[in-house]
């Protein structure tokens, strides 16, 4: 039985995966995902995945592109002094994005079940936005 020659770089990747270095393929995917997210946040442009035909974004993807891009941009801009404050600011923007997506579904879908779910999402997310906006940090007391 003959084996294909292995390059030193490939051997290093295999050994690092076996030696507690993690899966290099998974790490490359995580790195690429982080780079794509950073580019999306910086440009405010969300590229939709190509459908099976490879001809670009589907009409369904295009319907949500603006609301997705706005949500990602707004989440990236939201901040807070503490983890708690940043969480609330970012989640408000995330929920606003969900409401905007529900609005697209309500405006364009004719499926009664989709419309029902979109209405439920919009109502729940709107209530949660109000709850998060009303949140105030707990008073810090000395022990």
Encode pLDDT of 5-37 as tens digits.
Answer: 544 444 444 444 444 445 666 555 555 555 555
pTM over 0.75: no
Encode pLDDT of 44-71 as tens digits.
Answer: 554 445 444 445 689 999 999 999 999 9
Lowest mean pLDDT among 30-34, 85-89, 120-124: 30-34
Burial class (CB in 10 A: 0-12, 13-18, 19+), 22: exposed
Residue 28 has what pLDDT?
58
Residue 138 has pLDDT above 90, yes or no: no
């Amino acid at each position: 039985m003959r084996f294909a020659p292995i390059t030193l770089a490939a051997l290093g990747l295999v050994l690092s995966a076996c030696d507690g270095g993690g899966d290099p393929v998974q790490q490359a995917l995580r790195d690429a995902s982080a780079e794509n997210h950073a580019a999306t946040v910086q440009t405010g442009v969300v590229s939709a995945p190509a459908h099976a035909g490879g001809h670009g974004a589907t009409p369904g993807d295009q319907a949500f592109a603006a609301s997705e891009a706005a949500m990602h941009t707004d989440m990236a801009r939201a901040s807070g002094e503490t983890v708690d404050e940043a969480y609330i600011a970012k989640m408000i923007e995330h929920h606003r994005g969900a409401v905007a997506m529900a609005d697209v579904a309500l405006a364009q879908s004719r499926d009664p079940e989709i419309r029902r779910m979109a209405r439920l999402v919009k109502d729940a997310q709107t209530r949660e936005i109000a709850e998060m906006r009303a949140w105030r940090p707990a008073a810090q007391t000395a022990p």
